[in-house]
Amino acid sequence: MTDSLEIRATADGRTLPREQVRAWESRRATTVLGKLTARLGRLGMRELMPDRTVDELRAARLDDQRSALTTLKTRLGHAGIYALFKRELAFSERTSRIAVAASRGRTKHAVMRLEVPDYSAERFATWFDDLTATNAETDMIDACPDHYLLRGLPDGRQEVVETTGGSPAASRFIVDYTATDSLTIPIATGYPIQIAGHACLDDGLIIGGVRHQFRSRDGALDALLTVQFPGTVPARFIREHQWHLAVEFSNWIIAAAPIAATR
């Protein structure tokens, strides 16, 4: 994955330099690598990554760590991810139910804006939609260290296992991109491309949602990315998820550059 594109990230009126976005990703990559190592043990790590030692991975460049983490998660498989995070997922489901009940309909939004010169919003949105449609799990997982499982389901919805924001535990939820009635995220004027849907648990309880909005302006991609959380979620979690959004979409934008870049 190259990092030659100019990607301008802003949140809450402040600019997030590209090197700071990569530094946040690097910290999360190190944290996730440590978590996987602790749970799998050195024998488990050696089984899944026979050509690399844990110490080598800790000292590796970010791009190499990203690739190694994707390989580890892929080789674990869906059942392995479920087993490895069984307790965290149960904890997160309980806390999500409590947060929704306590919020009484109130919500908070994590918002990130990315601008990329010489880049097509239309082509990127098509590429991004195809990730779920074609079930491109590797591309979905590779975008952020906190992604553990992202896959399209037979009914068209998307299953997600990830660490959101600054949460201490991974969570699992389903995103339905055909359902938007529960969203409190406003539709921004002038953004014709909308990728939106609610996030729910298996029994249908809505715990949040997304509305990602895109437009091409003066030959540049303008992406307004928003995730909806229950209103009781701490402000620190919202701030951390802004970084999560900057990392995952920057990496997706870079991955889609052969199709979407116009220069």
Number of structural domains, the chain?
1
Q: What does the alpha-carbon distance between residue 86 and residue 66 come to, in Å, rounded to a whole number?
A: 23
For 217-228, the pLDDT digits (tens) are: 999 999 999 999
3 state DSSP class of 196:
strand
Q: What does the alpha-carbon distance between residue 109 and residue 166 come to, in Å, rounded to a whole number?
A: 14
DSSP H or E segment with residue 243: helix 235-255
Q: What does the alpha-carbon distance between residue 148 and residue 126 come to, in Å, rounded to a whole number?
A: 23
Let me know if residue 2 belongs to a domain. no
The per-residue pLDDT for 18 is 96
| Owner of token pair 């460049």 | 61
Render each residue's pLDDT in the chain as its tens digit; 263 residues.
445 799 999 999 999 999 999 999 999 999 999 999 999 998 999 999 999 888 899 899 999 999 999 999 999 999 999 999 999 999 999 999 999 999 999 999 999 999 999 999 999 999 999 998 899 999 999 999 999 999 999 999 999 999 998 899 999 999 999 999 999 999 999 999 999 999 999 999 999 999 999 999 999 999 999 999 999 999 999 999 999 999 999 999 999 999 999 98
Let me know if residue 186 belongs to a domain. yes
Write the Ramachandran bin of 262: left for phi over 0, alpha for psi from -120 to 50, otherwise beta.
alpha
Let me know if residue 24 belongs to a domain. yes
Let me know if residue 143 belongs to a domain. yes
Contacts of residue 147, Cβ cutoff 8 Å, sequence gap at least 6: 73, 140, 141, 160, 161, 162, 248
CB of 248 closer than 8 Å to CB of 147? yes
Task: Provide DSSP, 26-94.
Answer: HHHHHHHHHHHHHHHHHHHHHHH-TTS-HHHHHHS-HHHHHHHHHHHHHHHHHHHHHHHTHHHHHHHHH
Rg (CA), the chain: 18
Please report, for the domain that includes residue 79, its CATH number: 3.30.530.20
Let me know if residue 146 belongs to a domain. yes
| Owner of token pair 């715990």 | 207
CB of 21 closer than 8 Å to CB of 9? yes
| Count of CB atoms situated within 10 Å of the CB of 122 | 14
For 72-96, the pLDDT digits (tens) are: 999 999 999 999 999 999 999 999 9
Let me know if residue 3 belongs to a domain. no
| Owner of token pair 């229950």 | 230
3 state DSSP class of 194:
strand
| Owner of token pair 């010169």 | 117
Contacts of residue 122, Cβ cutoff 8 Å, sequence gap at least 6: 193, 214, 216
Q: What does the alpha-carbon distance between residue 73 and residue 188 come to, in Å, rounded to a whole number?
A: 36
Let me know if residue 20 belongs to a domain. yes
Domain extent for 85: 15-260
CB of 209 closer than 8 Å to CB of 194? no
Let me know if residue 72 belongs to a domain. yes
